[in-house]
Amino acid sequence: MTSETLWYANRATGAVCLVLFTVVVLLGIAVRLRGRLPGLPRFGTVSLHRTLSLSATAFLALHIAVAVIDGYVDITALDVLVPFRSAYQPLWLGLGTVALDLMLAVLVTSLLRERVGHRAWRAVHRLAYASWPVALVHGLGIGTDTGADWMTWLTVACVTAVAAAVGSRLAHSARAARRTPAAVLRTAEGARP
């Protein structure tokens, strides 16, 4: 493979990762809100979330492999796992490494969910909320297509979708928190003789 082919492959897999991980975050929020996609039962949304998570992870592995294989810049396997040590754009590449490390923690605990327990799994799974924006900033800082119109619109669409979903999730949590004390009070009042 030529260096130019690897460069295009790296750009393409980076853009695909942005889209796939955005959809994964959106589906994860839908699952948490007990939402369904039209035409799918709830377990279908969960299954789609898991399947797309693995697909996104595969594209991420391809994105990283292409970056390491490409001889144009020197990115080592250690640079992939240890943040901010690369000689090539250490800040931007380091942010990608941080996002990868967070996603690896989510992936490993998801695969070992039965062994680590639901509470520990959920706590680690929340790292996905941190890894998505860190990966986004990585792409904005290091991506060669950042200034291109198509990439700007793609990024704006992804950020808008995730912001709306997170806003919906926070609003749902706030409503649930307001209802909980009232429900406890009604239950306690109903139990009085």
* Of the candidate ranges 32-41, 51-60, 112-121, the one whose mean pLDDT is the lowest: 32-41
Query: In angstroms, how far apart are the furthest CA atoms of the chain?
Result: 82
C-beta separation of 32 from 169 below 8 A: yes
C-beta separation of 49 from 24 below 8 A: yes
Chain mean pLDDT for the chain: 89
Structural domain span for residue 50: 3-191
Q: What is the pLDDT of residues 27-49, one digit of tens each?
A: 999 988 887 777 878 788 889 99
Provide the residue type at 181 as one letter: P
- Number of domain units in the chain: 1
**pLDDT, average across residues 140-165:** 95
pLDDT-above-70 percentage for the chain: 92
Structure-block tokens of residue 38? 């039209």
pLDDT at 128 > cutoff 80: yes
Question: Pseudo-torsion of CA 90, 92, 95, 97, nearest 10°?
Answer: -60
* Of the candidate ranges 94-98, 127-131, 154-158, 183-187, the one whose mean pLDDT is the lowest: 183-187
pTM of the model: 0.87
Predicted local distance difference test score (pLDDT) of residue 83? 96
**pLDDT, average across residues 125-140:** 94
